[in-house]
Structure 1
């Protein structure tokens, strides 16, 4: 992925929605080229069908792990390998995941900080989260970080900026992004991109209407405005 962009997640409240395939078709028709789903909500065969559909539509595939116990996370990572996704986002057990990903082409973006509950919440001070981010980014098998910034109780702009400054790898901001000003904050911080799921599926993003095609168009328009102001500058994921 090159340039500041967003990943459309086929999820609501950290679960893949039952009608994900319908929404994936809408997103592909709208030109969205980064589409993901969670490891919770649909059985593996349905996720396999989603992955095939997304790839056939010319988009990159993302699986975000929100299972918090080690055994469930390991099972989800093995599923991601079987599915052949392009990116593995989230998860909190990097020491167990990294050996599983050796020899694959999957790009791994784990959660920094202390993540609890479902939907996931990011706990801890900014200093603790930054320390975790630096430690994770030091692993060669970690391609970037998946930061639940808007699921934390602290100063969100300061947190995103601090993590992006502390690590040399791309940072994706995940969870609870539903307004243009948040996207601008993420962009200014130096993050590589962000995820949007519930807010688009529920029609909450400011747009011409609540229909998904309008939601995705409005989010894309925020990106287009950024690209124009930056003269088309690209950044590497």
Structure 2
């Protein structure tokens, strides 16, 4: 696990906006996130929650304002510090012929010497995925697929974790498990920025940092 000294600013987005043509999909929004902090991005559909995450991830550039991540412009940080930023912004790419457990072992190998734990079976048990450890991605239910994506994202070392509605397709029981996993990441000293509609996850993140409330932009 890679973490930053407490107090270090990992995300500093200042009045960022995003416009496509004449349509503004994200009104001016600011968020600052330090090591060990969580931030919940909330608002109605169409308010720009996913867009804000993509700007912080460096996947898109803001139309105005600045997004600084790990001390560099977000677009540059995306390439320079990819080993310190974990992202779940859509479906997780998976190898069809590797089992759930083998995917996590692959993460272990890829980051050998940099990630001290937990072991694969421990991580799967914490996510209540131990019973599907030997199944292939295509054999998972939609809820299992989402939990697998969250576990795989959190399993690798990272100082900053970006999550876009990690509660998608999860029932009430698994939403509680997802909250515990996110809380565990915060306890490890990671910063977590998550867009969410889940009141429980919002509460977990609000206990560790700001809530970014977005209103639907005027078209």
The verdict on a shared fold, with TM-score over 0.5 as the criterion, is no
**Structure (1 or 2) with the greater strand fraction:** 2
**Structure (1 or 2) with the greater helix fraction:** 1
Alignment TM-score, normalising by the size of structure 1:
0.35
Alignment TM-score, normalising by the size of structure 2:
0.37
Greater length-normalized contact order (CA 8 Å, ≥ 6 residues apart): 2
